[in-house]
Structure 1
Amino acid sequence: MPALTLSRVCRVRRLAWAVVLWSATILYPFVLVATVMNGTNGFVGMEVFVSALLTVLVAALLQRHPLPGQGTLLLAWTWALLQMPIGGIAALQIAITDLGVGYIAATRRHRVSVPVLAVTLAVQALSAVVFLSPDDFLLLIIVLAVSVTWLAGNSIQVRRANAEMMRVQATAQAVAAERLRIARELHDMVAHSIGIIAIQAGVGGRVIDTQPAEARNALDAIEATSRDVLSGLRRMLTALRKDDPGAAPLGPSPGLDDLDRLAESTKDAGVRVDVRWKGERRPLPPDVDLSAYRIVQEAVTNVVRHAGTPDCRVTIEYGDEEVSIEVEDDGRGGVVGTGYGIVGMRERVGLLGGEFAAGPRPDGGFRVAARIPAPETAAVAAT
């Protein structure tokens, strides 16, 4: 009931305001002419105040009904000039109607503002010719005044349109960047786990008849890995839900503290990961911690898939202002730039203002190195 009452009050207010505006529009020419005819040595008294108030109300009509509003201004001031053909009335006619032209040019399209410009200019020029016997200079002033006003209003509209276009483009770029981020997250999350699952499935299929225990271990590894990736996907999809902004993710994002679990799952795939820590370990900002983990995960996945080696080394070094990541192997090496893994790692590091390098080692194998800024102050704030 309160909402319904409020809605009715709003409708009554809008109706009352519309009645006031249209009543003022109807009365305006008559009041203005009466004020002009009664004025002798300038406009004084209550009539001037009422005329000024009605002028403001008619100008307010331009907001929703520009053509009737501008037409009323032209009619009223032309009629007033007819009753008292003096320069002061002509100047007011030009100034007030030109302001209407500028407002319409700033708020309406050219198909509306250009005809308004033409009609206003014609009325002003014709009024000057009929009532004031002007010279060429006065006509030039009239043309310049209305043209400059229209151009000023049009420039405001153009700037507003450009600002809106830039806002739309910025929104589109933000959406595209978010989609790329999600794509990288999905790639990093799924590629590693599916690769391990595929390898374990192959191992289990080959030894299921001869070594049932090993096949059981492979199935256990597949189950654990698949549960991990499903939990990660569930967290991501929950975070992306738009219909329930208050929903919290089902679990924390992975970080460098999860490297031991990553090493265990990779060991089940046939590659031993030697994780080495240097420097004093400390909490990192969430984005740095997640990106560092994803870089190691992607690099280790590439070792499993392409290196053909039984082990690799992961070195995490904490500096005062940064964290460094290095993943090395002694395998067959690789080709930089193939697939999306190297590109994704490079983009992650670049977004955080760090440095990234990946390529074959001089003595064989492959090396991935990243340096990500992580000041101690930022880490403390993140905790």
Structure 2
Amino acid sequence: MRSKDILLGLGLTALVLVWGHLAPEQRPLDPQGIALAIAATLPIIARRRWPIPVLAVHIVLSTAYNTLDYPHDALMPPALVALYTVVSTGNRIWSATAAATTCVLVLLVRAIDDQGLGVDALGTIGWLTAAIALGEHTRQRNTHHAKETRQQVTEERLRIARDLHDLLAHTITTIRVQASVAAHLITETTQPLDRTTVAHTLDAITDACDKARTELRSTVEVLRDPIPVLPNITDLGNLVRAAGIDITFEHTGTARPLPPHVEVAAYRIAQESLTNIVKHSNATTATVHLNYGADMLTLTITDNGTTTNSGQGHGIIGMTERARSIGGHLTIHTHNGYTVTAELPTGET
């Protein structure tokens, strides 16, 4: 039980007892009336855990309380709180059933005690309607919030999946290129074995594995607290150069730190694009260009090769989703080479 509900239950109980003693026009509270009032009100403490049983207990005991002609209106506040709780926490069918039942019973008891429904019943109906409307508003708000939370969890899972794909695809491609070089050197029979180059190639594979293990361990932490990564984008050229492709990094506009989610998205898109060039293209040159606009970062990766990728792989889908997730747009053109352009809003204006 929450401390706030305990305080609410105790406060309502005190209010009911004080109200009962200050209402001289009805039967004054005696020990029996006090016991009924406390028994009908104090269960409010457990309203979140058992909303319907709490409302049911209150209705039964308040009916007995009102039948004995104790001050009627004194138990209205806990009745409204119990009704509000049922409507705000239950599903729509249970809420409607509980609301209708409560309204009918309250009006029936008042009609029996007052020998008919007068103008005063309009006030009762108004308070009950207000509690139901407020409860329904709270229920809808909570439902919307839960839906947004589930959506955020789904998006977080997609971001993690994209980062894992980008990381592993880049590393595995590096290992494959270096392993191919080592295999070629070892199986080459026309020239003496260059042990130094082979050792250097195998060391590169070891370094790639170590780096992948480190990044894999920190991926979740980086997603939750991303740091600027664009200054390190030139490191991505190592894989491309190892495959024998000449790469150039350029930028226009004023280079500056950008919001972390923008930098991470641009870095990962560049990483995946360069990985695709190595894996699927026969290019000899590639260019990575960053254009820092006033409110937009435009990333363009081009090469002079032809691609065997259909454009439907997880990498292309991941790049498109990554750009879209921050309100950006990604396009791919295959005329005179392969061009990937990502327009990423920075939200700085």
Q: What TM-score comes out, normalization by structure 2 length?
A: 0.72
Counterpart-to-counterpart distance in 1, 2:65 and 2:279? 84
Q: How does 1:216-365 map to 2 (within 5 A)?
A: 216-239=199-222, 255-333=229-307, 337-361=311-335, 364-365=336-337
3-state SS in 2 of match to 1:308: coil
Counterpart-to-counterpart distance in 1, 2:26 and 2:234? 94
User: How big is each residue's C-alpha offset from its partner over 1:293-352, in whole Å with a ceiling of 9 and x where there is no partner?
Assistant: 222111111111111223222223334444332211121145664112223223333333
User: How big is each residue's C-alpha offset from its partner over 1:53-108, in whole Å with a ceiling of 9 and x where there is no partner?
Assistant: 99996874362454555455444444448xxxxxxxxxx74x55666554432123
Aligned length: 318
Counterpart-to-counterpart distance in 1, 2:74 and 2:221? 58
The CA deviation at 1:204 is 1.6
The CA deviation at 1:189 is 1.3
Q: What residue is the counterpart of 2:106 in the other structure?
A: 120
Provide structure 1 residue ranges, at least 5 long, that are not aligned to the other structure: 1-9, 39-46, 82-91, 242-248, 379-383
Q: Which moved more, 1:116-125 or 1:324-333?
A: 116-125
For the 8 Å contact 1:62–1:100, the answer to whether it is kept is no
**Match for 2:84 among 92, 98, 106?**
106
Change (3 A) 1:68 1:345: closer
Provide structure 2 residue ranges, at least 5 long, that are not aligned to the other structure: 46-53, 87-93
The CA deviation at 1:167 is 1.7
Counterpart-to-counterpart distance in 2, 1:190 and 1:157? 49
**Match for 2:140 among 146, 151, 162?**
162
User: How big is each residue's C-alpha offset from its partner over 1:220-249, in whole Å with a ceiling of 9 and x where there is no partner?
Assistant: 2212222222222122245579xxxxxxx8
Query: Sequence identity of aligned pairs in percent?
Result: 26
User: How big is each residue's C-alpha offset from its partner over 1:265-287, in whole Å with a ceiling of 9 and x where there is no partner?
Assistant: 32113322222333443333333
Counterpart-to-counterpart distance in 1, 2:60 and 2:302? 79
Q: Which has the higher contact order (CA 8 A, sep 6+)?
A: 2
3-state SS in 2 of match to 1:63: helix
For the 8 Å contact 2:37–2:75, the answer to whether it is kept is no
Q: From the CA coordinates, give the structure whose radius of gyration is larger.
A: 1
Cα RMSD (Å) of the superposition?
A: 4.2
Change (3 A) 1:112 1:193: same
3-state SS in 2 of match to 1:338: coil
Q: What TM-score comes out, normalization by structure 1 length?
A: 0.67
